[in-house]
Amino acid sequence: MANDNRATDSIDRDEDYGLTQALMDRIDAAMEAGDRPALDAALEPMHAADIADLIERLTPARRRAFLTLYADGIDGEILSEIDESIREEVLDQLPQAVVAEAVREMDSDDVVDLVEDLDQPDRDQILAALDAGDRAAVQQSLAYPEYSAGRLMQSEVVTAPEHWTVGQTIDFIRAEEWLPEQFYHVILVDPRRHPTGYVTLGRLLASPREATMRDLAEDSFRTISAQAEEGDVAYLFNQYHLISAPVVDDHDRLVGVITIDDAMTVLDDEHEEDILRLAGVNDESHVSDSALTTARQRLPWLVINLFTASLSAIVITQFEATISTLVALAALMPIVASTGGIAGTQSLAVAVRALATRDLNRSNARRVVMRELGAGLLNGLGLALILGIAGTVIFGDPKLGVVLGMAMIVNQIVAALGGVLVPLGLNKMGLDPALASGTFVTTMTDVMGFFAFLGLATLILI
């Protein structure tokens, strides 16, 4: 059995992984025919995450058909993999009994993730399916702010007193009826439930039964405040190669544990947010969105850009007399502006990324800004040389070459500085540095590009 699966489970670059076209066709045919056994057969070998992806990719009408046909096949694992963007829709279409059963299977962090964006009545209805202890754990998590470590943690934790032996700990774990689905450490706690260290399961297994837990604890030990932001949690896991980390309340008491797979999901979400926000896209966009939803998500920044682009138009209008004297200027001015736009985007992407990884912070901000200034000046000189010579040769007018070159130097410096100062400024104001930076910076480089070029042309050429 395992041998048979191995070949197909091994990954291959050109495959669509779980969801191959052949499989999609089989599923389509089964849904067309309303043939549940055939659908079961097609979905049986699939991982819950792939089934969730499948549900996300269907059109809303086909999704409804799928959920009707496959309702009781939806379990806790699939439900917790379903993307936020369609989660409410899916929950609404499933019978209550199916949701209740699924929720009972889930770890507390997955239940929190599932219900946190629901209205109070919907949320209460789902929580009612849980037994009292699990419900209390979920409600404790929900009491912490959104996007906090408290929302991310699971309450299910395996703990032991420091003075226990390995043997006692193993016997305790063997006797325990209920254990988290995955755990990698035993957290050591004092009598008041303050975490004092942790022992990896590998270390526990490798040690003799009579060894004391205290002596097996890892050197580096780090707790996370339940109030910490999830982005900071992801950073800590990535920076310190954590596998799981204990979460403590304001009194330093253990309230839960965060595992690396949750941190990896947060890291991935933050990436998505950065790359989309930099481009001026509402970060809730999803591949299954309709054209209308997509248009609506993107319109706000487009409209804002209409206004910021009007600034360029106003600047150019001031130089109409210059342009009508030498119409070639109208053709050349976008070169200065667009090269500035590219430079600004480069500087911006580097700064936003460095802020996200904490490589750029207060201790080196000044040095990085000076570095950008230097790089902008150097590239401005290089580009000015190329463009200046080309302009002189093509138009036979050295003065035009000088104007092009000087405007390029000015705009490259503005671009390099704008690209780093805008995100640093947003960050200082407590805003996401990726938010809208792209529009601000390209507006700066457009306006400055047109102004420097046309202004210098007016002074030198006309």
Is 372 a binding residue for a second copy by CB under 8 A? The answer is yes
126, 323, 422, 452: which one contacts a second copy (CB under 8 A)? Answer: 323
Residue given tokens 């047109």 in the structure block: 450
Q: In the complex with a second copy, which residue's Cβ is closer, 124 or 261?
A: 261
Binder to a second copy among 348, 413, 422, 424 (CB under 8 A)?
Answer: 348
Site map 258..297 versus a second copy, x via CB under 8 A: --xx-xxx-xx--xx-xxx-xxxx---xxx-xxxx-xx--
The pair of structure tokens assigned to 293 is: 């939803």
Among 62, 163, 167, 239, binds a second copy (CB under 8 A): 239
Residues from 400 through 429 that contact a second copy (CB under 8 A): none
For position 165 contacting a second copy by CB under 8 A, the verdict is no
Kindly state whether residue 206 participates in binding a second copy, applying the rule CB under 8 A: yes
- Taking the complex as a whole, the smallest distance from the CB of residue 1 to a second copy amounts, in Å, to 9
Q: Does 335 bind a second copy (CB under 8 A)?
A: yes
317 binds a second copy (CB under 8 A): yes
Specify the residue, 86 or 127, whose C-beta has the smaller distance to a second copy: 86
416 CA to centre of own chain: 26
Which string of DSSP letters, residue by residue, matches 279-343? TT--TT--TT--HHHHHHHHHHHHHHHHHHHHHHHHHHHHTHHHHHH-THHHHHHHHHHHHHHHH
Q: Which one of residues 86, 106, 199, 248 is an interface residue with a second copy (CB under 8 A)? A: 248
Min. distance of Cβ 450 from a second copy in angstroms?
7
177 SS3 class:
coil
User: Which residue's CB is nearer to a second copy, number 68 or number 364?
Assistant: 364
**Which one of 136, 243, 389, 402 is in contact with a second copy (CB under 8 A)?**
243
User: Cβ neighbours of residue 361 under 8 Å, at least 6 residues apart?
Assistant: 355
Q: Per the structure block, which two tokens stand in for 140?
A: 């404790």
* Residue 371 binds to a second copy (criterion: CB under 8 A): yes
* Distance, CA of 259 to CA of 138 (rounded, Å): 17
- Compute the distance between CA of residue 423 and CA of residue 435 in angstroms, rounded to an integer: 8
CA distances from 407 to 76, 288, 346 (A): 61, 45, 19
127 or 343: CB nearest a second copy: 343
Contact between 139 and a second copy by CB under 8 A: the answer reads no
Q: Annotate 189-237 with three-state secondary structure.
A: ECCCCCEEEEEEHHHHHHCCCCCEHHHHCCCCCCCEECCCEHHHHHHHH
Sites for a second copy among residues 33-72 (CB under 8 A): 47, 49-50, 53, 56-57
At residue 434, φ and ψ (nearest 5 deg) are: -80, -20
Q: Identify which of residues 127 and 236 has a Cβ nearer to a second copy in the complex.
A: 236
Among 3, 120, 366, 396, contact with a second copy (rule: CB under 8 A):
3
How far apart are alpha carbons 277 and 200 in whole angstroms?
Answer: 39
Binding residue count for a second copy, defined by CB under 8 A: 156
111 touching a second copy, by CB under 8 A: no
Tell me how crowded residue 82 is: count the other CB atoms within 10 A of its CB.
21
The reply to whether 395 sits near a second copy by the rule CB under 8 A is no
197 binds a second copy (CB under 8 A): yes
**Which residue type is seen at 217?**
A
Interface region with a second copy, contact rule CB under 8 A, candidates 96-104, 118-126, 135-143, 357-365: 357-365
Q: Binding residue for a second copy (CB under 8 A) from 38, 93, 334, 461?
A: 334
Write down the least CB distance from residue 128 to a second copy, Å: 28
* 309: contact with a second copy by CB under 8 A: yes
Q: Which pair of tokens denotes residue 217? A: 């604890």
Q: Shortest distance, CB of residue 95 to a second copy, whole angstroms?
A: 25
| One-character DSSP codes across 251-279 | TS-EEEEEEHHHHHHHHHHHHHHHHHHHT
Name which position in 120, 121, 174, 396 contacts a second copy (CB under 8 A): 174
- Write the CA distances from 100 to 104, 125, 154, 351, integer angstroms: 6, 9, 19, 46
| Residue 369 touches a second copy, criterion: CB under 8 A | no
* Candidate segments 101-109, 112-120, 132-140, 335-343, binder of a second copy by CB under 8 A: 335-343
Distance in angstroms (rounded) separating the CA atoms of residues 458 and 283? 44
147 contacts a second copy (rule: CB under 8 A): no
Give the three-state DSSP class for 18: coil
